[in-house]
A = this chain, B = another copy of it.
Amino acid sequence: MRPSGRDLNQMREVTIETGILTHADGSCLICVGDTRVICSASLGERVPMFRRNTGLGWITCEYAMLPGSTHSRNRRERTVGHPSGRSQEIQRLVGRSLRSCVEFASMGERQIIIDCDVINADGSTRCAAVTGGWVALRIAMDRLMEGRKIASDPLVNQVAAVSCGAYAGQTLLDLDYAEDSEAETDANFVMNDDGNWIEVQCTAEGMPFTSARLTEFLSLAEFGITQLFALQRSAVGRLLPVA
């Protein structure tokens, strides 16, 4: 039915391996099928200018793709001198999503930078970055608490993301690159563990969509994100909540 042979509501296999970097304060390799993203969290003692002397922390994100990660080699952004519009959109999305889970007063005037570097790209890299980014952040926060630098846990929510799309009149969950390019839609959903939405982004350059379709997307996205929450908790050694 769908190009990948998966069921309409079937995600690809997802694995999350933590501790893959020796220097970062938190790190993981998240694999969503052939999409592979290294997420790392680095603690900096200085916050951005607009946060100075507020007592509040900050989370920022940077996203990039390795040159060899894409079908045709992807030119390094350092040559251009700034992140592409696409990279900026994605890292702003990931940053907002992670910040929505944080109580900044508990964090102290510190910044954590989340780096999401795509090693291999097969669609939905921004969703993998949100999901893996949370894991790296969770580990870094745990380390801060272990080191008794902060007293209460600033990371009060869990957040994860999936993509959806429409293809041949049907609604699909978690599009890989081949599906994404045929479907010509780009719908991404970020939800927290209270079951509320953090981001809903549906873009239809090729195919305008109805409100009914959007409702289907929401339902499918919730189904997928719930599975990701369990995988994240397992990766960071948290019990699953009692259903």
CA distance A138 to B86 in the complex (A): 28
- Decide if A40 is an interface residue (CB 8 Å cutoff): yes
Closest residue on chain B to residue A76 by CB atoms: B62
**Chain B residues near A218 (CB-CB < 8 A):** 211, 214
CA distance A202 to B64 in the complex (A): 24
Within 8 A of B (CB), among A63-108: 64, 66-73, 76-83, 85, 88-89, 91-92, 96, 99-100
Q: What is the CB-to-nearest-CB distance from A31 to chain B, in angstroms, rounded to a whole number? A: 12
A66→B80 contact, CB < 8 A: no
- Decide if A158 is an interface residue (CB 8 Å cutoff): no
Q: With contacts A66-B115, A78-B77, A81-B82 known, is A196 near B210, CB below 8 A?
A: yes
CA distance A34 to B20 in the complex (A): 10
Q: 16 A-B contacts, Cβ less than 8 Å apart?
A: A23-B71, A38-B119, A40-B66, A62-B76, A67-B115, A73-B115, A76-B77, A80-B82, A83-B85, A85-B85, A96-B203, A196-B204, A198-B203, A199-B204, A211-B215, A214-B218
